[in-house]
Structure 1
Amino acid sequence: MSRNASRGKTETKGPAGQSAGPRASGSRRAGPAAGPSQRQLRVAEEVRHVLAELFTRVEFRDPVLAGVKITVTEVRISPDLRHATAFIARLGQSDVEVFLPALRRATPFLRSQLSHAVKLRGVPDLHFQPDTALDYAMEIDALLRSPIVAKDLGPQE
């Protein structure tokens, strides 16, 4: 019996019969560069749907948030599912930073609503950040359409 087998680990054999090391289970990943797990992605998308629905259907008591249309573009959740960062935007507007303090004040209410809609052991702490991806994309598009770049991209001989 091999040393690893006596400790309860199974080893896999490579194509030539060499030991390929302990068998990797589906839940283990190769460090932080591997990206979010399927569970993280699934929970984050569910949280995004619930928050988006809350922002469209609920009238907030906070006068800063009353009547404001906020879009939740993405939610990223920590590996332990305890912290969720929601990226928010207002379509056609770039003044979303004004609403961040009001959203922090509304976080306990949003977490309570989230706890009713999402079946998890613990509801993640919500953090809000402005989504600048659309602004960045529009900036890049404007650069690509500029006359200087168009001259470089013109017909070549």
Structure 2
Amino acid sequence: MEKVIINSYEDFEKLVGHQIGVSDWIEIPQERINQFADATLDHQWIHVDTERAKVESPYKSTIVHGYLTLSLLPHLWNQIIEVNNLKMMVNYGMDKMRFGQAVLSGQRVRLVADLQSLVNLRGVAKAEIKFSIEIEGAKKKALEGVATFLYYFN
């Protein structure tokens, strides 16, 4: 799918109520899980101990940290959309976020994003993006929610 290009508030407005796009699949290998554990000081065995997970985990594998899955949102979002003519963009909030299914080490995920609403706050575009992070081959989503971004156009 081709990246959506936004150059103004009016460009954004045309997308309200529509799917913005779908990212490429990205694999989450054990190495990335271990790096995330180091960065966040979250070394729970279910994430990092591959041998113990094979035996004791109901998944028979290590699983990706939920927050690692969430942290991929900006990377995946940038594959879908390019917003130009900005002074800055601010992550404003997350709402109705739910983890639906664990992502196993080595699985691939992608982002599906819809523009739920857009409000003009005295020249600042407040965009509410309904997002889901899907797991390749799985029926349940890894993560769903609404991300709110503030876009300060020039």
Relative to the length of structure 2, the TM-score reads: 0.24
Higher strand share: 2
Relative to the length of structure 1, the TM-score reads: 0.24
Higher relative contact order (CA 8 A, sep 6+): 2
Structure number, greater radius of gyration? 1
Higher helix share: 1
